[in-house]
Structure 1
Amino acid sequence: MSFQLPKVVLLLLLLILISIGAVPGYLSGKWRWTEPPKVVTLSKLRSLRETGLTLPGWQVAKRETPQIGEHKWLSQEMTRTNQKATLLLFSQKGPREQPEVEWNDINGFQRWKTDSSKQVEFAIATPPTQVTAHFFRGWTSEQTYVVLQWYATSQGGHPDPSHWFFADRIAQWQNRRVPWVAVSILVPIDPLDDLEKHWAEVESLAQTVQSTLMADVLKAN
């Protein structure tokens, strides 16, 4: 019974949100789920893969748009002093598009094995924002990486699509939307390296990515 309780609570919460969202639509004659509010930053989200993401302190050595799963992503190979990293971004393309299988697509594209998986948190100062991300090691016969993944939003971020879903439903009730960008950071490391010794480097890059996205493509003017 205790195992089923969280599922029951989530179901009740979803029903409440749907009911709340349906009332204004019923009164106005417009159903919000069939005509959701506009994503005001959609044009910037769509152009992200063409323009790339400029990060303070980092130089882009190579930029391309690989086909990963059913979508084209932005891939940036970047350098800073003696550091190297690859940034993979997939930004929302339409008002009905929602995060779904991006991490499975990345796993299939990289064809890597993984271990040491856990959730971590990092914060940015302006505006004060907390982000939860998926942190793990991915390796192939050629290269080993420390990997950090999350869905960046104007409210923070989380690797689980359900967090965006509930935030967006609440936002629709308030006649707005929660735009999103799937972020995957890959930092090359030596095989069997201790991941924790790379955390400060990865966290710093993640903070820069999140704050840059929030200041531009995720920001409603």
Structure 2
Amino acid sequence: TNPPPVTNLKQLKTLRQEGLTLPGWEVIRVQNNVQIGGHRWLVQEIKEIQYPQRIAILLLLPQNGPKDQPQVEWLDIDGFHRWQRDADRPLRFTVELAPELAKIPNKPSPTVEAQFFRSWTPQQTFAVVQWYAWPNGGSPAPSRWFWEDSIARLSNRRASWVAVNIIVPIESDIDIKIAKPILESLGEIVQAKLMTEAFGL
């Protein structure tokens, strides 16, 4: 049997081509169709408007069709950057609902649990956060998406998804905890934008 359709594929396709406009951040450069592993990612270089020296790189991989499932995207990213990594830890944040959604009774604020780690190459050190975003939250674990999708299918719907990877350059000798507030803030902004623009909430 065919799975239920992904009703927001058009929005996901637009995201794949154009990326996200994030409040408080300016887009420096956008590259779509960047081949990473077996997929074509969208890569955006952005800088914070208030602190222009603060740069981040946003990688997005939107679901491509009803049979497209999260699999080994994080291994693909590791292989593409050829970086070492350590200090893996969870990073949890809650997204404030848009005013029109906040009025819906029993509508909880979406919570994302991402993975947060330091990575480095011989040239540069980074703080990285990764998760699969879906309409009411997110997690780095494909198994969590399968659970969300199976619940959605009971109502003949789908939990569409976008793989999100945010990279912030840091000094090699600092604790990555220093980068946590900026990645948390940026993560909330990205998830909120995905909910309104890609997931059509």
> Does TM, scored on the shorter chain, surpass 0.5?
yes
**Counterpart of 1:84?**
55
**Counterpart of 2:178?**
197
Shift of 1:219: 2.1
**Counterpart of 1:182?**
163
**Counterpart of 2:30?**
63
The range that moved more, 60-69 or 149-158, is: 60-69
- Which amino acid is 1:135 matched to? F
Q: Distance in 1 between the 2:35 and 2:15 partners?
A: 15
Extract unaligned runs of 5+ from structure 2: 103-108
Q: Distance in 1 between the 2:67 and 2:16 partners?
A: 19
Q: Is residue 50 from structure 1 mapped to residue 20 from structure 2 by the alignment?
A: no
Q: Distance in 2 between the 1:98 and 1:182 partners?
A: 10
> How many residues matched?
187
Structure 2 matches for 1:15-30, cutoff 5 A? none
Q: Is residue 72 from structure 1 mapped to residue 40 from structure 2 by the alignment?
A: yes
Shift of 1:52: 1.3
Q: Distance in 1 between the 2:132 and 2:148 partners?
A: 12
The structure in which a higher percent of residues are helix is: 1
Which residue of 87, 91, 100 maps to 1:116?
Answer: 87
Shift of 1:85: 0.2
Q: Is residue 143 from structure 1 mapped to residue 124 from structure 2 by the alignment?
A: yes
After superposition, what is the alpha-carbon deviation per residue over 1:51-84, rounded to whole angstroms, capped at 9, x for unaligned? 1111111111111121100111000010012311
Q: Distance in 1 between the 2:185 and 2:177 partners?
A: 13
RMSD (Å) for aligned C-alpha atoms: 1.0
Shift of 1:177: 0.6
Aligned identity (percent) is 47
Q: Is residue 37 from structure 1 mapped to residue 4 from structure 2 by the alignment?
A: yes
Q: Distance in 2 between the 1:185 and 1:152 partners?
A: 13
Q: Distance in 2 between the 1:129 and 1:91 partners?
A: 19
Which residue of 68, 73, 79 maps to 1:102?
Answer: 73
Which residue of 191, 194, 197 maps to 1:213?
Answer: 194
SS in 2 for 1:216: helix
Shift of 1:132: 0.2
The range that moved more, 102-111 or 125-134, is: 125-134
Shift of 1:193: 1.2
- Which amino acid is 2:123 matched to? E
Shift of 1:198: 1.3
- Which amino acid is 2:145 matched to? W
- Which amino acid is 1:122 matched to? F
Q: TM-score, normalised by structure 2?
A: 0.90
After superposition, what is the alpha-carbon deviation per residue over 1:99-150, rounded to whole angstroms, capped at 9, x for unaligned? 0010000000000000000112111111511110000001001111000000
SS in 2 for 1:64: strand
Extract unaligned runs of 5+ from structure 1: 1-33
**Counterpart of 1:133?**
114
